[in-house]
């Protein structure tokens, strides 16, 4: 991944932004030929916005609530339209959802697909398990109830069904028999692995984009 135009990445976040930080740091090595062109958060207090500003990356805050007040039942549609326009204005090659806790509907996905901009997401569960919020907590509960032996993390393509798109990279994370791991410890164990997986998944897709650009295939 060298000597070509950088792959332009928009990162969507909602919270602490430790995975965003992993992407920011990886620009030094694994993601050398990637440029994070903007970080967008749907939460004003997301610490990830501070991380982005510290790295001199442009940021934007766009929250659904004003849309609910203005458009009531069409709020999500209008929000997604504006989010798509905001993202596309930067002409990104790739959108990475790194803890973006907002459902993305077709009014966001379609304009991105039309512009040939793939969207990938990090989710802390194995494909088909524990879709949606609080996945780590729900997986641990299932382990304690004897229903699962392992959980995992994945990078997957984004479709309108939450956390359901085609997996790109999957890593299994076993629960440890005989170890009384509390939720904080499990979260930490999972986050450490996430920080590597999000970089590897982003690199894989960025490389595909570069090949596509070289071959002129859209």
Close Cβ partners of 189 (under 8 Å, ≥ 6 residues apart): 173, 181
Instruction: Verify binding: residue 15, ligand GAR, rule CB under 6 A.
Output: yes
Total residues interacting with ligand GAR, rule: CB under 6 A: 17
Nearer to ligand GAR, 34 or 158 (CB): 158
Binding mask 29-48 for ligand GAR (x = CB under 6 A): -------------------x
**Cα gap 183→190, rounded to integer Å:** 10
Catalytic residue list contains 60: no
Tokens of 132: 């949606």
Q: Cβ 21 to ligand GAR, closest distance in Å?
A: 8
**Whats the size of the chain, residue-wise?**
218
Instruction: Verify binding: residue 135, ligand GAR, rule CB under 6 A.
Output: yes
Q: Cβ 127 to ligand GAR, closest distance in Å?
A: 13
Considering 116, 123, 156, 157, which one is annotated as catalytic?
A: 123
Q: Cβ 17 to ligand GAR, closest distance in Å?
A: 5
Q: Cβ 58 to ligand GAR, closest distance in Å?
A: 19
Which listed residue (122, 126, 139, 197) binds ligand GAR by CB under 6 A? 122
Nearer to ligand GAR, 148 or 155 (CB): 155
Instruction: Verify binding: residue 163, ligand GAR, rule CB under 6 A.
Output: yes
**Cα gap 96→164, rounded to integer Å:** 15
**Cα gap 9→76, rounded to integer Å:** 24
**Cα gap 194→121, rounded to integer Å:** 11
Q: Classify residue 59 as exposed, middle or buried by CB count within 10 Å of its CB (0-12, 13-18, 19+).
A: middle
Which listed residue (27, 76, 123, 156) binds ligand GAR by CB under 6 A? 123
3-state secondary structure 154-209: EEEECCCCCCCCCEEEEEEEECCCCCCCCHHHHHHHHHHHHHHHHHHHHHHHHHHH
Contacting positions for ligand GAR (CB under 6 A): 13, 15-20, 48, 98-99, 122-124, 135, 163, 191, 194
């Amino acid at each position: 991944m060298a000597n070509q135009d950088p792959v332009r990445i928009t990162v969507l976040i909602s919270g602490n932004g430790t995975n965003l930080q992993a992407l920011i740091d990886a620009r030094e090595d694994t993601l050398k030929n990637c440029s994070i062109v903007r970080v967008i958060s749907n939460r004003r207090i997301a610490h990830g916005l501070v991380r982005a500003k510290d790295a001199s990356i442009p940021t934007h805050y766009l929250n659904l609530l004003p849309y609910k007040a203005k458009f009531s039942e069409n709020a999500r549609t209008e929000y997604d339209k504006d989010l798509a326009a905001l993202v596309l204005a930067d002409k990104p090659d790739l959108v990475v959802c790194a803890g973006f806790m907002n459902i993305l509907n077709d009014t966001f996905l379609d304009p991105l697909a039309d512009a040939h901009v793939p969207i990938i997401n990090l989710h802390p569960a194995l494909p088909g398990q524990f879709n949606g919020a609080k996945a780590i907590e729900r997986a641990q509960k299932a382990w304690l109830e004897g229903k699962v032996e392992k959980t995992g993390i994945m990078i997957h393509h984004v479709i309108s069904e939450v956390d359901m798109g085609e997996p790109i990279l999957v890593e299994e994370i076993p629960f440890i028999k005989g170890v009384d791991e509390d939720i904080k410890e499990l979260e930490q164990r999972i986050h450490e692995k996430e920080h590597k997986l999000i970089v590897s998944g982003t690199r894989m897709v960025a490389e595909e984009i570069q090949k596509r650009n070289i071959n002129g295939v859209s």
